[in-house]
Chain A
């Protein structure tokens, strides 16, 4: 079994820019009131926004080893979709946020938790999370990168 699929069909920049010009609410309504993720997944700063190609990863709850793998293989412009069982834990903080910025990643969206939110806000890296949590994580369990998954109540295909 291959855990990490790196070759995904990314959307072209022009299409991303054209869609990204509209608000999430407008897009949701315009495409027939579908595609809305769990409304509990919110930006850690209301001025944060993003639009891009989904790069998916499944982390075991309270474990971030696959998130570190995903950041290592993601390409500039990718949006990391981190499925982690809707469990609060500090899986992502300012150090990994800096790694994302350095690698040109567009944003991170997770149903798990993040911490160092003040530092991430100051850094300006868009982070959307279900939880903010100070508790640390382990690095134990492998999981799939860029396989279809259910996240926030929606099916997300890699490169969606």
Chain B
């Protein structure tokens, strides 16, 4: 099956269509939850859970 929109085109194997549908639904739900957290004031570091990985990489901030 082939899907296209303003961003581009993607092909999905026939035997993977149901998986793609289910995984897409889960992904959209997760993204909607992230957006709600941003609206409530959280930062990308919080929402994407980046604090530990940034610390491990040695990121420094002047505050």
Contacts and interface: CB of A to CB of B under 8 A. Distances in A.
Interface string B2-21: 11111111111110111111
B2 to A, nearest CB: 5
B36 interface: no
A25 B8 contact: yes
A15 B17 contact: yes
A19 B3 contact: yes
Contacts of B19: 31
Interface in A17-63: 18-20, 22-31, 35-37, 39, 41-43, 46-54
Contact of B12 (A19, A43, A49, A152): A19
Most chain A CB neighbours (cut-off 10 Å) among B5, B9, B18: B9
Given A11-B17, A30-B27, A31-B19, A24 B1 contact: no
Contacts of A4: none
B46 to A, nearest CB: 21
Interface of A: 9, 11, 15-16, 18-20, 22-31, 35-37, 39, 41-43, 46-54, 79, 81, 107, 109, 126, 128, 152, 154, 156-157, 159-160
Interface of B: 1-14, 16-21, 23-28
A108 to B, nearest CB: 10
B20 A27 contact: yes
7 contacts: A22-B28, A27-B24, A36-B9, A36-B10, A54-B2, A154-B11, A157-B14
B5 A43 contact: yes
A50 to B, nearest CB: 5
A20 to B, nearest CB: 6
Contacts of B8: 24-25, 28, 36-37, 39, 41-42
Contacts of B4: 24, 43, 48-51, 107, 109, 126, 128
